[in-house]
Amino acid sequence: MAVFVALGAFLMTLFGGWAAQRVTDRRHLVLGLAGGLMLGVAGLDLLPEAMAAAGEEVFGVPQAMLLFAGGFLLAHVVERLLAGRQAAHGAYNGGRHAHDHRVPQVGMTAAAAMVLHSLMDGIAIGAAFQAGGGMGPTVALAVITHDFADGFNTYTVTSLYGNERRRAVAMLFAAALAPVVGAASTLLFTMPPEVLGSYLGFFGGALLYLAAAEILPEAHHAHPARSTLLCTVSGVAFIWLVTGLAE
């Protein structure tokens, strides 16, 4: 049953990626919506779940919050290191690419994190069905609904950093297949809630960095329009609605 339900997540992820491709002529709106969705997922979905599952304190600070900050910092460090290597490469080649601040590897790394997150979504579906008590359908509904945002964000973040369309599509399909693989894996093992909570906190911090430091500034750079801001607010509101319905 869990694997069958995960097929819904597969289709919803592909639909989200398809939607991101179809509105390329409104790139600033796409990025504004993607940033809002990522901000909503990080702050309204992942962090509360992480606090509930891994809320034990470490030197006065909840473990989930430490990992949240760690994920944010790691994403920043990786982005800066890759950007520094790209800048050095451009200078070595006469500065021909020095003006392009986008680093394709950052996009691929971010998309890989989205794929990992989708894998964990599948594991969450399987674990919920194992727990019983009606939890399975509720968790499945939440996962399937927000997997639209996952597909949308996976395609957008991959292409944003200058990767070819075929790479963005490949990462989209990987993110779509991941929940099915994750749900099937729960037939073999069960993940402790503490480990799952720690992961959610860490990934939430990395996602927040991408939204706040990369996606949203890019969205408002060339088109500082109210419509872009409205898309960002709508993205956060959508995740809030999904989270509330799931509860």
pLDDT tens for 72-88 read 998 888 777 766 655 55
Q: For the whole model, what pTM was predicted?
A: 0.67
Q: Give CA–CA dist 139/141, Å, rounded.
A: 5
Residues of the domain holding 1: 1-19+28-87+104-246
Over range 126-130, report the average pLDDT: 73
Q: What is the pLDDT of residue 137?
A: 67
pLDDT tens for 16-60 read 898 888 876 677 787 788 788 888 888 887 788 888 877 788 888
Q: Give CA–CA dist 48/75, Å, rounded.
A: 20
In a domain, 178, yes or no: yes
In a domain, 95, yes or no: no
Q: What is the pLDDT of residue 99?
A: 42
In a domain, 180, yes or no: yes
DSSP code string of 151-190: HHHHHHHHHHTT--HHHHHHHHHHHHHHHHHHHHHTTT--
Q: Is the pLDDT of residue 200 over 80?
A: no
pLDDT tens for 101-123 read 567 877 888 888 888 878 877 88
**Which residue has better confidence, 136 or 58?**
58
Least Cα distance to 194 among 49, 66, 71, 68 occurs for 49
Q: Give CA–CA dist 54/43, Å, rounded.
A: 16
In a domain, 97, yes or no: no
In a domain, 99, yes or no: no
Q: Is the pLDDT of residue 236 over 70?
A: yes
Three-state DSSP class for 134?
A: coil
In a domain, 228, yes or no: yes
In a domain, 93, yes or no: no
Q: What is the pLDDT of residue 92?
A: 44
Q: Pick from 58-72, 79-93, 150-164, 183-197 the range whose average pLDDT is largest.
A: 58-72
Q: Is 94 left (phi over 0), alpha (psi -120 to 50) or beta?
A: left
| Per-residue pLDDT band at 7 (split at 50, 70, 90) | confident
Domain count, the chain: 1
Q: What is the pLDDT of residue 65?
A: 92
In a domain, 50, yes or no: yes
User: How far are the Cα atoms of 7, 25, 124, 157 from residue 2, in angstroms, in the given order?
Assistant: 9, 38, 10, 29
Q: Give CA–CA dist 148/37, Å, rounded.
A: 10
